[in-house]
Amino acid sequence: MARITIDDVTKRFGEGDESIVAVDDVSLDIHDGEFMVFVGPSGSGKSTLMRIVAGLETQSEGDIHIGDTLVNQLGPRARDIAMVFQNYALYPNMTVEENMSFGLKMSTDLSEDEIERQVTEAAEMMGIGDLLDNRPGELSGGQQQRVALGRAIVRDPNVFLMDEPLSNLDAKLRAEMRTEINRLQNDLDVTTLYVTHDQTEAMTMGDRLVILNYGEIQQVGTPLECFYRPSNQFVAGFLGSPSMNFFDGTVEGGTLRADGFDFDLTDRMQTAVGDRTALTLGVRPEDISLHDEPTVGTEFEAVVDVVEPMGSISYVYLQASNQDHDQTFIVETDGQRPISEEQTVYVDIPADDVHLFDAGSGETIHQRHSGKRPRSRSRSGCSRSVSNPATCAVVFDSQSVSGGSGPAISSGYSPIDHACKSPTTSCLPCRPGGYC
């Protein structure tokens, strides 16, 4: 186990004017035993950053410490790390046992018997004890994945590095292996860096997320922190499926005029907005309510464009009736709610669930409410099947329930529990993202 410190690391590929900055001045402190997930879209620099930690790439600038050791000049073999690759990188000419024992033979002076004992132990732990004599080509994708993990854990390294290890598996196996890796990490308590572009993996697995884009860190925080208190529009849009809806607009006398509707800014929002005139309003699909008739008076009219039934929920794509441009936004509704294309509905965007972003920089200037509170959705009537019948709010510790509008990255809060705040009292454990 070891702490990893990344200090002002920059990585450029190429030279001179044609160089590409893959990692841009990244500093990060990964705690001992922490499960840290690097997440971002393709080309965000997440894999490069991990490869720099592994010693497979050399940074152009900056320092990497593993434990107390400055490892800038050390090759991968001297860093006491183990890595799981996206394509598993199992040695095709070796059996499973040889694959798993290769690292021990290369990096330790252990006797053959001791190596065999450790390999058998790790293989049993991964449930591949009966595959030790097989070659990788004879194994299924899931088995290969287990071998790759087994090869990593048998070495008992200081740090695990995992580079999109689940991306080659089918959806069911991926879910299984997610749990498996989580369990392993908990059991072994080894500092783990995990790279993924899949936000579900990021949300479910990481103690903390590092969200990267264009080689720069966008936000570091717990999954729920990043989800509920995104530091900028990129993070808000990246986490959550479907993505947060964004509406560009201008501020006129306490009202945000977006294309197709007006939104009244609360006092707290106006304070945060200051003298800005151009804003982007962000609201998640699950936070918007749909009504058949105007009820609270703040709704705007919209026409259903497409309905995607997903079973328990449906995604409804809508267009505001009075908009000048064709802009579609998404609303999540109850799967059993009868709704059809071309239907006219009334859309309520609850002020408590709204984020505001600077239109130029994308920085968050106002966060949604967090903490214990009645959900606006229940106000609009879950009982009428307008939205999720059972939705969850996140309960934060007392330190966090400040309701401040500063960027989440500086809030220092930590979610401690999920609780259901809906008419339905018996809930399943909450999903990441806050739903039951």
Phi, psi at 223, each rounded to 5°: -55, -45
Of 188-227, which residues contact another protein (CB under 8 A)?
none
Cα–Cα distance, 139 to 407 (Å, whole number): 47
Cα–Cα distance, 11 to 86 (Å, whole number): 21
Residue 250 binding another protein, by CB under 8 A: no
Indicate the helix (H) or strand (E) that contains 185. helix 171-188
Residue 87 binding another protein, by CB under 8 A: yes
Q: Look at the alpha carbons of 134, 138, 140, 141 in this order and tell me if their dihedral is positive or negative.
A: positive
Residue 102 binding another protein, by CB under 8 A: yes
Give the nearest distance from C-beta 81 to another protein in angstroms. Answer: 6
Residue 320 binding another protein, by CB under 8 A: no
From the list 93, 180, 181, the residue with the least C-alpha distance to 138 is: 93
Residue 144 binding another protein, by CB under 8 A: yes
Give the nearest distance from C-beta 344 to another protein in angstroms. Answer: 47
Find the part of the chain contacting another protein (CB under 8 A) among 28-36, 105-113, 315-323, 369-377. 105-113
Binding map of another protein across residues 264-293, x = CB under 8 A, - = no contact: ------------------------------
From the list 64, 60, 73, 62, the residue with the least C-alpha distance to 12 is: 60
Give the nearest distance from C-beta 264 to another protein in angstroms. Answer: 55
Give the nearest distance from C-beta 73 to another protein in angstroms. Answer: 15
By the 8 A CB rule, do 260 and 349 touch?
no
What number of residues does the chain have?
Answer: 436
Cα–Cα distance, 427 to 392 (Å, whole number): 9
Cα–Cα distance, 16 to 232 (Å, whole number): 31
Binding map of another protein across residues 6-25, x = CB under 8 A, - = no contact: --------------------
Work out which of 5, 10, 72, 86 binds another protein, going by CB under 8 A: 86
Residue 45 binding another protein, by CB under 8 A: no
**The amino acid at 201:** E
Work out which of 5, 33, 72, 85 binds another protein, going by CB under 8 A: 85
Residue 133 binding another protein, by CB under 8 A: no
Q: Look at the alpha carbons of 307, 308, 309, 310 in this order and tell me if their dihedral is positive or negative.
A: negative
Residue 82 binding another protein, by CB under 8 A: yes
Residue 89 binding another protein, by CB under 8 A: yes
Closest to another protein by CB, 148 or 288: 148
Residue 150 binding another protein, by CB under 8 A: no
How many CA atoms are closer than 13 Å to the CA of 346, on its beta-carbon side? 10
Give the nearest distance from C-beta 16 to another protein in angstroms. Answer: 16
Number of shown-chain residues binding another protein (CB under 8 A): 30
CB contact set of 374 (below 8 Å; sequence gap of 6+): 421
How many CA atoms are closer than 13 Å to the CA of 21, on its beta-carbon side? 12
Closest to another protein by CB, 103 or 240: 103
Residue 317 binding another protein, by CB under 8 A: no
Cα–Cα distance, 291 to 297 (Å, whole number): 11
The residues binding another protein (CB under 8 A) are 54-56, 75-77, 81-83, 85-94, 102-103, 106-108, 136-137, 144, 151, 155, 161
